[in-house]
Amino acid sequence: MWKFVKKTALANRSFADYSAFKAAIDATLDGLGITHKAAIATLLTLRLKTL
């Protein structure tokens, strides 16, 4: 999940301060069920790797 959030919210961007950085992450997490629903559906499958 972190890899998806990092790619979506933070890739190739710089932020003026920590609050802008946090706001970008929060906006991405808030939109997971709406904006990124299809991408999340492919990430959260029942195919889990057991070690």
pLDDT, residue 17, reads: 94
Going residue by residue through the chain, which has 51 residues, state the pLDDT in tens, using 9 for 90 and above. 788 888 888 888 889 999 999 999 998 888 877 777 778 777 777 766 666
pLDDT, residue 48, reads: 63
- C-alpha closest to that of 10 among 40, 1, 33, 22: 22
- State the alpha helices, DSSP H only, in the chain: 2-5, 18-30, 37-43
- C-alpha closest to that of 7 among 35, 28, 27, 37: 28
Question: What's the pTM?
Answer: 0.64
> So where are the chain's domains?
15-45
pLDDT, residue 51, reads: 66
Q: Which residues contact 5 (CB under 8 A, 6 or more apart)?
A: 25, 28, 29
